Amino acid sequence: MIEIIARYFTVDWQAVILAAVLCLSLAAGSLSTLVVSNRMSFFSDAIAHSTLSGVALGLLIGVDPIATMIAAGVVVALLIAAMRQRSGLSLDTLLGVALAGSLAVGVILYHRAQGYSDLHAYLFGRVTFLDTTDLAALAAAAGLSLVLVGLYSNPFALLAVSRPLAQARGIRPARYDFILIVLLGLVVSVCVRAVGLLLVNALMVVPAAASKNVARSYRGMFWGALCVSVTSCVAGLVLGDYFSVPPAPGIVVVAVLFFVASLLFRRGTALALDA
Amino acid sequence: MTAPVLSVENVSVEIGGRALVEHVSFSLGPGEFAALIGPNGAGKTTLLKAILGQLPFRGSIRVNGRMGYVPQRLNFDRTLPMTVLEFLALTLQRRPVAFGIATRVRKSVSAMLERVGAGALLHKSLGGLSGGELQRVLLAAALGEGAQLLLLDEPAAGVDIEGEAAFNDLILHEVRAHGAAAILVSHDLSVVADISDRVLCLNRVLMCEGKAGDLLTAETIARVFGSGKAVYDHHRPVPHTHAHGPDHHHGH
């Protein structure tokens, strides 16, 4: 095990993977609290599924698929937000349609472009193939997430408690919805490259969900989510290597174990208080 | 002449093709305390939401200064971990509360809570507060941010019956001390008679407007609420302390 860990610090391409995974964990972990407390988890899932259309479109028209993937994530996110405001339909209905629709279009386009080759990597991730380009994109996503959390986490927290109260204090919900949607569109699209579109949402949701179970303050929830995210990503990478299993599902399994442990801890605390 | 803090001109609100508020006009000067009364479904909360910018409306609403708002009941995710200190600090500092709370803000929040008799709640979880405690925290938030206009939507609704009169007294005292203009939505005519400078009677349209003592006659009350209603003194043991509209339900 120590040998495996040491390789992530000595072998160049493995060091790149570790750095990329750390950036991924910071991006997802810092946004996780906003996603969970502002009830945006299905939203990030819909964005993740829409990225396949972007990748396929890029391959079809001969444009860098990373650029079209990010563009597709942001465009679908904005479309959902606009339809939510204008149609009066509930968000879960819109997301259900967007998620299934964008995935179906994506699979058709992908079939036309690639004949399903390499689809597996987009669905379940390709952590072990992350390169310096991915590292740069993930570092930018982490930086952007942390800056926006630093600038706007207070209004988002107030919106999470009550939109009418926030509005009374001059916070415009539509403006912050837009900021979070665009940010999620960008970050989720970048993270899909690493952990796959079927697993990326777990990284956006599980860290804060686990932290929420045990935290007693918003501050505790935020830092707890960040710790769960970083620990799950690094542990999932190393354990995946050790047990020869794919790292992306390994990362998600470790995060889910944190969630189960947090539930048991909460149940234990509640029983102790009742006794 | 001093500019009004709130100016409402010919405001109508329609939802789903149904007019909830029609052609309402009034204004409120600095420090003026107005009660907005009317039976259930009269459009009181709708009018308040239009003033808050939460509902689309026709006409014009101008607010001169910051608003503070105490809702009837705050519906929120009670499992969200957030202390009362963090909640009140959210609008008092730019630094994310997740990165810590400045000493200056901590002191200020303590003082805000002390004013409404809720100093002990500083480190309590927002989700664990009782209805009455939560309303006090919301009142502290509304008062504590230099608001020039307070919108109080039946703020004592979540408080138990015994605490209701005391809570209304607290509101009156604190709002007067604060010097802000205020609109208090109420279906409780005795509260209105006791504490307001002006009364606005709403039943979709503005039916009357004027000083509390002049307006609260049996005739006006019957016109706004329907017949069989009266004003009773809260502190006198009478069989029906509240004057309710025809379709009022307790605990709404």
**Which of A149, A154, A161 minimises the CB distance to B80?**
A161
Contact A165 B138 (CB under 8 A): yes
Summarised one tens digit per residue, pLDDT across range B192-217 is: 666 778 888 888 888 887 776 666 66
Contact B138 A220 (CB under 8 A): no
CB B10 within 8 A of CB B60: yes
Instruction: Give percent of chain B with pLDDT exceeding 70.
Output: 78
Contact A218 B79 (CB under 8 A): no
What pLDDT is stored for residue B245 in this prediction? 38
Residue B251 pLDDT > 80: no
Query: What's chain B's average pLDDT?
Result: 80
Cα of B133 vs its chain's centroid, Å: 16
Which ranges constitute the DSSP H helices of chain A?
2-10, 12-37, 41-61, 65-87, 91-114, 119-124, 132-161, 163-168, 173-195, 200-214, 218-242, 247-274
What pLDDT is stored for residue A33 in this prediction? 95
What pLDDT is stored for residue B213 in this prediction? 66
pLDDT grade, residue B252 (50/70/90)? very low
B197 phi, psi to nearest 5 deg: -80, -40
CB B196 within 8 A of CB B14: no
**Which of B69, B98, B125 minimises the CB distance to A168?**
B69
**Which of A149, A218, A223 minimises the CB distance to B82?**
A218
Query: CA-CA-CA-CA torsion for B94, B99, B100, B103, nearest 10 degrees?
Result: -40
Summarised one tens digit per residue, pLDDT across range B173-196 is: 777 777 788 898 887 676 666 677
User: Where are chain A's structural domains?
Assistant: 2-274
Which residue ranges of chain A lie beneath pLDDT 70?
Answer: 114-117, 270-271, 273-275
CA distance A188 to chain B (A): 23
Residue B232 pLDDT > 50: no
What pLDDT is stored for residue B237 in this prediction? 42
AA letter at A36? V
Best of B82, B87, B134 to disrupt the A interface (most A CBs within 10 Å) is: B82
Contact B82 A220 (CB under 8 A): no
Residue B249 pLDDT > 60: no
What pLDDT is stored for residue B163 in this prediction? 67
- Distance between CA B20 and CA B62 in Å, rounded? 20
Which residues have C-beta within 8 Å of that of residue B196, sequence separation ≥ 6?
B33, B34, B35, B184, B212
Which residues have C-beta within 8 Å of that of residue B47, sequence separation ≥ 6?
B8, B11, B13, B21, B24, B36, B202
Out of A271-275, B28-32, B147-151, which region has the weakest mean confidence (pLDDT)? A271-275
Contact A219 B97 (CB under 8 A): yes
How buried is residue A39: exposed, middle or buried, by Cβ count under 10 Å (0-12/13-18/19+)?
exposed
Identify all chain B residues contacting A160, using CB atoms and an 8 Å cutoff: 76-77, 80
- Distance between CA A212 and CA A259 in Å, rounded? 9
CB B52 within 8 A of CB B151: yes
Which residues have C-beta within 8 Å of that of residue B99, sequence separation ≥ 6?
A150, A219
- Distance between CA A171 and CA A40 in Å, rounded? 18
Residues linked to residue B6 through DSSP beta bridges, in sequence order: B28, B63
Summarised one tens digit per residue, pLDDT across range A112-132 is: 886 656 778 778 888 888 889
CATH architecture of A2-274: Orthogonal Bundle (1.10)
Contact B71 A215 (CB under 8 A): no
- When pLDDT is averaged across residues B10-33 and rounded to a whole number, the result is 90
- Distance between CA A137 and CA A126 in Å, rounded? 15
- When pLDDT is averaged across residues B54-76 and rounded to a whole number, the result is 88
Residue B247 pLDDT > 60: no
- Distance between CA B227 and CA B243 in Å, rounded? 11
With tokens 């386009």, the residue in question is A109
pLDDT grade, residue B222 (50/70/90)? low
- Distance between CA B158 and CA A38 in Å, rounded? 25
Query: CA nearest A181: which of A81, A266, A52, A258?
Result: A81
What pLDDT is stored for residue A49 in this prediction? 87
Summarised one tens digit per residue, pLDDT across range B99-136 is: 999 999 999 999 999 988 889 999 999 999 988 889 88
- Distance between CA A232 and CA A26 in Å, rounded? 11
**Which of B81, B99, B151 minimises the CB distance to A217?**
B81
CA distance B251 to chain A (A): 21
- Distance between CA B171 and CA B181 in Å, rounded? 12
CA distance B17 to chain A (A): 15
Residue B243 pLDDT > 60: no
- Distance between CA A187 and CA A183 in Å, rounded? 6
- Distance between CA A222 and CA B172 in Å, rounded? 38
User: SS3 of A125, please?
Assistant: coil
Residues linked to residue B19 through DSSP beta bridges, in sequence order: B14
How buried is residue A202: exposed, middle or buried, by Cβ count under 10 Å (0-12/13-18/19+)?
buried
What pLDDT is stored for residue B217 in this prediction? 67
> Furthest-apart CA pair in chain B: how many Å?
58
